[in-house]
Amino acid sequence: MATEKFGILIEKNPPESKLTQLGVRNWPKWDLIPPSKFPWTFSTKETCYFLQGIVKVYPDGSDESVEIEAGD
């Protein structure tokens, strides 16, 4: 099931066939970091897959967040 908020599309627990098609298992991994806040800008469409943890994204100009977690 996919949901969209602030232009961010989140697909919960995509099937393994989709992960394989995207080549997710071969993508580079970010090292785990302690909780932190930092600005991040995407200049093009991005696709990511979360193995663990939770991320709260606050789009520019918004007090509301989009939560992305393991399996998204």
Give the Å distances, CA to CA, from 22 to 11, 12, 15: 13, 15, 11
Residue 15 lies in a domain: yes
| CA–CA separation, 54 and 52 (whole Å) | 7
| CA–CA separation, 47 and 9 (whole Å) | 9
| Range(s) of the domain holding residue 53 | 1-24+45-72
The total number of structural domains in the chain stands at: 1
- Tell me which of 37 and 28 has the higher pLDDT: 28
Task: Give the model's confidence band at 27: pLDDT under 50 very low, under 70 low, under 90 confident, else very high.
Answer: very high
Residue 13 lies in a domain: yes
Residue 31 lies in a domain: no
Q: Would you state the torsion angle of the CA atoms of residues 41, 28, 67, 71, taken in this order, to the nearest 10 degrees? A: 160
The dihedrals phi and psi of 55, each to the nearest 5 degrees, come to: -125, 135
Residue 64 lies in a domain: yes
Residue linked to tokens 């996919």: 2
Residue 2 confidence (pLDDT): 87
Residue 31 confidence (pLDDT): 78
Residue 3 lies in a domain: yes
